[in-house]
Amino acid sequence: LSIAKKPIRWGIVSAGRISADYVQAISLAEGAEATAVAARSPTAAAKFASQYKIPNVYNSYADLIHSSEVDVVYIGTIADQHVELTRDAILAGTPVVVEKPMALCAQDAEMLIHLAREKDVFLMEGMWTRCFPAMKKLRQILASDEIGRIIYIQGDFGYNMINNPPDDRIWLPTSGGITLDVGMYIAQFGRIAFPGGKVKHVHASGTMKNGVDCSVMATVTYECSENESDFVDQDGMMQFVLTGAANTEERLVLQGTKGRVIVDSPFHTPQRLRVLRDLGRGETSETVHNFPPPEDPYGKWNNPGSIGFVHQIHEVGNALRDGKKQCDCFTWDDSLEVAQILDEVLVQVRTGGR
């Protein structure tokens, strides 16, 4: 059977918390199966395989990445291994989905994207939020001019990890910190709200814990008009707060000239959009768009909302079947712009703001 007819065979690199959620979601997705797993320890991989009914266990990440028995690998390790493993997969000619962040800095993300282009291999950073049906609706709303031109985006993403042990991935000096954990979820809205806009300024400050960023407040300005003499303000703004010290509302607002869209909490697994059209100062008319999650036979996930991975699994399957090297939901340019914003945020937070 050709790939068009067969289920996409996923190989899972690492047997940690997100990999467990991912294979559960694969089991619920159409046209996909988790066919193999590898972990640092073969014993851990075998235990994971038995728990999630995965037929093949490889003795090393490298063996899995080079296997002809998988159609795509999912890299679910902690972030400091993403670049090396993604690079290995591209060089092996194996399509790859790497968990966010693709890399710890924009330069490395750019290197991986160049390599994928040169070797003609599928590469996607796992920005799964973009694959949710609600995000497709949001793009339609913005394109329709229903709420006009976007003036600003404002959002928060915080969850309380302050008492997690210092060796938890979130507090690791090598690759931890709140920005590289959740900053991308808000930063990715910039390229949707300001298509064609260029990032002009990034301003950020924050607090540190264990040598990594704990709470961050950032503002990003987009240059949206090429006409310097425009009397009308055409630029866009994005403001976000991130924290690892409190559970925040996790809501996102896109304010346009004719109204706003609220992506209700938790916006990173979006299920409800509220469109508030402006009828005058303090007056709006509201339209609600609901996107309930698929039926959940498991009920238990390591991360809330992980059932939503089914959308990304479907999108990747469709892209591979169509012979694409990028996923339309989250392209290489999307990854790169987000990485550049987060780079700048981190420089400023680490140096105490500028």
Residues engaged in binding ligand LJPVP2WV (CB under 6 A): 159, 181-182, 268, 303
Task: Tell me: does residue 77 bind ligand NDP (CB under 6 A).
Answer: yes
Stretch that binds ligand NDP, among 8-16, 206-214, 246-254, 342-350 (CB under 6 A): 8-16
* Cα Rg of the chain (Å, integer): 20
Q: How far is the CB of 265 from ligand LJPVP2WV (least distance, A)?
A: 13
- How many residues line the site for ligand NDP (CB under 6 A)? 19
Q: Which does 14 bind (CB under 5 to 8 A by kind): ligand LJPVP2WV, ligand NDP, none?
A: ligand NDP
How much of the chain is in helix, strand and coil states, percent to nearest 5?
A: 35, 25, 40
In sign, the C-alpha dihedral spanning 50, 77, 179, 164 is positive
DSSP H or E run through 349:
helix 332-350
Q: Which is nearer to ligand LJPVP2WV, 248 or 303 (CB)?
A: 303
Task: Tell me: does residue 78 bind ligand NDP (CB under 6 A).
Answer: yes
**Alpha carbons 272 and 253: distance in angstroms, whole number:** 12
Q: Which does 130 bind (CB under 5 to 8 A by kind): ligand NDP, ligand LJPVP2WV, none?
A: none
Q: Which of residues 202-261 bind ligand NDP (CB under 6 A)?
A: none
Task: Tell me: does residue 189 bind ligand NDP (CB under 6 A).
Answer: no
Burial of 273 (0-12, 13-18, 19+ CB in 10 A): buried
Stretch that binds ligand NDP, among 74-82, 254-262, 270-278, 339-347 (CB under 6 A): 74-82
**Two tokens, residue 305:** 């909302």
C-alpha dist (Å) from residue 37 to 49, 87, 149, 307: 7, 18, 46, 20
Q: Which of 71, 156, 181, 344 binds ligand NDP (CB under 6 A)?
A: 181
Task: Tell me: does residue 315 bind ligand NDP (CB under 6 A).
Answer: no
Strand partners, 327: 330
**Alpha carbons 263 and 270: distance in angstroms, whole number:** 7
Q: Which is nearer to ligand LJPVP2WV, 24 or 94 (CB)?
A: 24
**Two tokens, residue 133:** 């049906």
Q: How far is the CB of 244 from ligand LJPVP2WV (least distance, A)?
A: 9
Q: Which of residues 82-111 bind ligand NDP (CB under 6 A)?
A: 99-100
DSSP H or E run through 259:
strand 259-263
Q: How far is the CB of 306 from ligand LJPVP2WV (least distance, A)?
A: 8
Q: Which of residues 14-73 bind ligand NDP (CB under 6 A)?
A: 14-18, 39-40, 44
Q: 343: phi > 0 → left, psi -120 to 50 → alpha, else beta; which?
A: alpha
Q: How far is the CB of 159 from ligand LJPVP2WV (least distance, A)?
A: 6
DSSP H or E run through 56:
strand 56-58
